[in-house]
Amino acid sequence: MEETWRWFGPRDAVRLPQIRQTGARGIVTSLHDIPYGEVWSVEAIEERKALIAEDASLGLRWSVVESLPIHERIKLNEGDQTALFDNYRASMRNLAACGIKTICYNFMPVLDWTRTELAWPTPGGGRALRFGIVEFAAFDCYMLERPGAEAEFSEATLAAAKAWAQRASEADKEKLLANIMAGLPGAYDRYDIPGLRKMLDRYRGVTPAILRENLARFLREIIPLADELGMRFAIHPDDPPRPLMGLPRIVSNEADIAFILGSVDSRANGLTLCSGSLGAGPTNDVPGIARRFAERIHFAHLRNVAKDADGSFMEADHLDGDTDMVALVSVLLEEQERRRLAGLADWRIPMRPDHGHELLDDIGKPTHPGYPIIGRLKGLAELRGVMRAVSSAKGWPLA
């Protein structure tokens, strides 16, 4: 598979020469400074491409867009969205003209990935991301004070959450809010409690069925052009794959994915196989999901989680969580070999290590949460070993 690396642009504390030292050659990035709904111009895209390729000795290229964001009004089907769709299609044309044709995107309302702890201790002093159901319930029920929130948690969780809220200091509560907001991409402002309540109010009455139809409408608007341009769209699963703060989740399991890929039956309408997001769902068989939808997987985020019975989970080492990563990588490599033998030009599946632990000298550095260099380097090395071993055993090219 093509080894890629998420890079948040010139403001990222991880520099391009450091990325090259990991062995990755493909860069996964976005133009985070451009507000949602505005056009990505050819000039802006080429400027970012030139920055990535500036040092030719590194051999880096912009491989995947993560992401070309979808405006909240499209998710809500709110007001006249004609200009938003026109702008989105203009950005697609400009990206294709610049040779960038794989787009990872998500349809999660309001927030992207959500965690309650960004520095959960691991043996030896490392730090990991964690989603704690008790802390999240405390936030939802006793900080956000969302009407009806208590009905979504067990009695044991509610009791523990109430105890947490009663003993928590204002600093504890501010930290929890900041941690939950940290999953928003790039440089965008985070919500405070009143701002978050206001956003949630906009989604009042939006059921999973309504959000699903809004996604299907988005796909009907953009996939025909993606087909024409030879582009590949790859939706990212919900993270975590469960309702949050009353917001519907529609990319959480095998049935959701089947609906999405079937809503516009085109190879351009595909999946980002995120093993961590899907792996946090207690009933999800991640290698099985990968096998069922293999032909439509256009990008892979490979990471692992270790789940608790109450719905909590933490980011595990890449090979040591609840998902059988060897089985999953084997499925992806088998599909890649099928594409190669079929003569497809885009036969290689781009992958990236995701959400590494903070380790060694990375601890305390101002990297994006979940994106330190050493933890991801460790994960990439482990995954590279699995890919090499599987490919060698099968007699497949080491690509």
Helices (H) and strands (E) in the chain, counts: 14, 12
Residue 298 annotated as catalytic = no
Residue 301 annotated as catalytic = yes
**Count of Cβ atoms closer than 10 Å to residue 145 Cβ:** 11
DSSP state of 97: H
Mind giving me the DSSP string for 120-181? Answer: EE-TTS-EEEEE-HHHHHHIIIIIS--TTGGGGS-HHHHHHHHHHHHH--HHHHHHHHHHHH
Cα distance between residue 366 and residue 382, in whole Å: 25
Please tell me which residue in 71, 142, 274, 362 is annotated as part of the active site.
274
Which of 250, 247, 244, 239 minimizes the C-alpha distance to 139? 244
DSSP state of 192: -
The answer to whether 117 and 135 have CB atoms below 8 angstroms apart is yes
Mind giving me the DSSP string for 196-228? Answer: HHHHHHHTTT--HHHHHHHHHHHHHHHHHHHHH
Which of 58, 66, 85 minimizes the C-alpha distance to 9? 66
Residue 104 annotated as catalytic = no
- Angle (CA) 326 330 335, round 5°: 155
* Residues counted in the chain: 399
Please tell me which residue in 71, 236, 298, 357 is annotated as part of the active site.
236
Please tell me which residue in 71, 298, 301, 357 is annotated as part of the active site.
301
Residue 98 annotated as catalytic = no
Cα distance between residue 314 and residue 317, in whole Å: 10
Which of 397, 393, 271, 289 minimizes the C-alpha distance to 336? 397
Cα distance between residue 322 and residue 397, in whole Å: 29
Cα distance between residue 295 and residue 112, in whole Å: 26
Please tell me which residue in 12, 238, 256, 354 is annotated as part of the active site.
354
SS3 49: helix
List of residues 6+ apart from 47 with CB closer than 8 A: none
Cα distance between residue 137 and residue 139, in whole Å: 5
DSSP state of 273: E
Please tell me which residue in 71, 318, 355, 357 is annotated as part of the active site.
355
The answer to whether 243 and 251 have CB atoms below 8 angstroms apart is no
User: Catalytic positions, please?
Assistant: 236, 274, 301, 354-355, 371
